[in-house]
Amino acid sequence: MTRPIIAGLLYFLAMFAIGFVLGTLRVLAVAPRLGELAAVAVEVPVMLALAWPICGALLRRYRVPPGLAPRLAMGTTAFGLLMLAETVLGATLFGQDLTTQWANRATAAGLIGLAGQLLFAALPVLQRR
């Protein structure tokens, strides 16, 4: 079961790095022009389009078995680390407590972002062969 966990860790790291760059562009360049909701609606499909081949490459590289349990382990590892990283960054960089962070998730933009994150977590299962 080690391979799915390692693949999940690397999947998280790759997508977190990409998300950090795209999120910065969204906040600084896109949201001021289109609004937060439209900016998130543009960013999420780009993230998922990038996540698909990255996920597939990691599945192949680490030979994660096609069974449901190993694929779920990879996806939940990546998702759990993503939620932890976002919580820590929200608190340290933006001074947001957990209540504020969860309130932000309840907005339309927050729900679109959460849906994208859940799809990101599901990609290892969706790529089963």
Residue 1: per-residue pLDDT: 66
User: What average pLDDT is seen over the chain?
Assistant: 95
Return the structure tokens found at 1.
């079961």
Condensed to tens digits (0 to 9), the pLDDT of residues 50-85 reads 999 999 999 999 999 999 999 999 999 999 999 999
pTM of the predicted protein model: 0.93
Residue 33: what pLDDT? 97
Question: Is 94 a residue whose pLDDT tops 90?
Answer: no
Q: Hey, what are 23's tokens?
A: 């999120």
DSSP state of 107: S
pLDDT tens, residue by residue, 19-31: 999 999 999 999 9
The predicted structure's pLDDT at residue 129: 62
Alpha-carbon dihedral angle through residues 79, 114, 60, 62, given to the nearest 10 degrees:
-10
pLDDT above 90 (res 128) = no
CA dihedral in degrees (30, 123, 121, 100; nearest 10)? 20
Domain boundaries, given as residue ranges, for the chain: 2-126
Residue 48 has phi, psi (to 5 degrees) of: -70, -35
Separation of alpha carbons 74 and 80, rounded Å: 10
Q: Specify whether the CB–CB gap between 3 and 70 falls below 8 A.
A: yes
